[in-house]
Amino acid sequence: MANTTSLKLPEDLKEKVNELAHGVAQTPHAYMVEAIAERVARDERRRDFLASGSEAAARFARTGVAFPHKEALRYVRARAAGKKARKPRPVRIPPSAR
């Protein structure tokens, strides 16, 4: 069940929402709910992306295992071009080179 929330919008924003909502055949309420849902989904993806990067950095700091840049770039470019490509092999980077 939905909970009620009140939003106090500046008059100019309220007018824009009304105009745009009617232009896409939505009520202003539906338009705002959809906008908030899209923002929440975007922020969740960003949070997950940053967490994944932090985890990868911590794993690299702990293990020193990484993919060589040239090999990873070769693989990504080939895949982006729709070609089959051999996956790069991870290597251990010595602590002095990190």
Residues 43-56: pLDDT tens digits? Answer: 999 999 999 999 99
Would you list the DSSP string of 2-27? PPP------HHHHHHHHHHHHHTT--
Residue 3 lies in a domain: no
Nearest to 92 by CA among 57, 58, 63, 71: 63
Name residue 65's beta-bridge partners. 92
Domain membership of residue 95 (yes or no) is yes
Residue 18: give the domain boundaries: 11-63
Report if residue 80 sits inside a domain: yes
Q: Are strands 91-92 and 65-66 parallel, antiparallel or unpaired?
A: antiparallel
Q: Does 34 score more than 90 pLDDT?
A: yes
pTM over 0.75? The answer is no
Tokens 């295992």 map to which residue?
A: 65
